[in-house]
Amino acid sequence: MAQAIWSGAINFGLVTIPVKLFTAVRTNELSFNMLHAKDEGRIKYERVCSVDGQPVPWDEIVKGYEYEKGQYVVLTDEDFKKVNPVATQSVDILEFVDLDRIDPMLFDKPYYLEPSKQGRHAYALLRSALNDANKVAIARVVIRTKEYIAAVKPSGDALVLELMHWANEIVEQSSLDLPGNDALPEAEMKMAKMLIDTMSVDAFEPEKFTNRYHDELMAMIEARAHGKELPKAKKPATPRSKVVNLMDVLAQSLEESKKRRAANGRTASQEKSEKKSATTRRKKSAA
């Protein structure tokens, strides 16, 4: 059973909803140890002083902020305690806003909120109200010793607390050399839209996509661990030639996209027709 990482309450006006916080995503990265090639001994790391070259025990290590090159302000544990945010154990809702009014780049990491038994009705009420209004709640929350700005959003049957970046953490686009919004050739725009249309789907299905690097690396590890023959490496894709004429490349891409869709046995219009028929059947069945 999943372990809650935080317990507290959502404060919604004068309404208090007791909740627990659970991790909503899990990383799927492989972990490796550094070994000595000769005998596979684990490599250990020492904390060595850059001044005298000697190992330093933990009780002699302090934290310092480099405010100028080579110049540090040393801070103690007591200093950090003085500025630590108060752990209020609450998600304090400050305001509500339309979801599409928030830059997606501000969202960082989602967590599930699970209500306690006595908070289930108020939880369901807030979830339904947010859904109906197409709003998300903007809140402040302290997790462990760090304060965050976060969004409370409905997701299926759950409310999700999604931690957000502070505004000053987003790199300004003005620092990049980007093309302007000058008028583009109409023929190219038409072809690009046709290509988008042939590659469009009715709904995003994330389960269709897998981490190929992770899977292939695990297959290699499994084979080597059991003394089996290693899987054959796939041939690298043929590098694309340089783009000479954008219209030619768009036309070729469109043709290839049509072939892939035809190979799957359905055209875009057929997919829409099938979806419409399925909806009609469901309505008749319900009736």
DSSP string, 177-210: -----PPPPHHHHHHHHHHHHHT--SS--GGG--
pLDDT above 80 for 285: no
Q: Identify the band that residue 286 occupies on the pLDDT scale cut at 50, 70 and 90.
A: very low
Q: Identify the band that residue 208 occupies on the pLDDT scale cut at 50, 70 and 90.
A: confident
Distance from C-alpha of 113 to C-alpha of 100, rounded to nearest angstrom = 22
Q: Where along the chain do its domains lie?
A: 6-25+84-167, 186-230+245-281
Spatial contact of 142 and 88, defined as CB atoms under 8 Å apart: yes
CA distances from 66 to 52, 63, 69, 75, 82 (A): 19, 10, 7, 11, 20
Give the best-scoring range by mean pLDDT among 53-67, 217-231, 248-262, 271-285: 53-67
Q: Identify the band that residue 210 occupies on the pLDDT scale cut at 50, 70 and 90.
A: confident
In three-state secondary structure terms, 61 is: coil
Q: What is the pLDDT of residue 270?
A: 56
CB neighbours (10 Å) of residue 280? 10
Q: What is the pTM of this model?
A: 0.70
Instruction: Output 234 or 30, whichever has higher pLDDT.
Output: 30
pLDDT tens-digit profile of 88-99?
788 999 999 999
CB neighbours (10 Å) of residue 66? 9
Q: How is domain 6-25+84-167 classified at the CATH fold level?
A: Ku70; Chain: A; Domain 2 (2.40.290)
pLDDT above 90 for 199: no
pLDDT above 60 for 276: no
Q: What percent of the chain has pLDDT over 90?
A: 45
pLDDT tens-digit profile of 24-39?
988 888 889 999 999 9
Give the best-scoring range by mean pLDDT among 71-75, 201-205, 228-232, 259-263: 71-75
Helix orientation angle between 186-198 and 246-263, rounded to the nearest 10 degrees: 20
Q: What is the pLDDT of residue 185?
A: 87
Q: What is the pLDDT of residue 242?
A: 62
Q: What is the pLDDT of residue 18?
A: 93
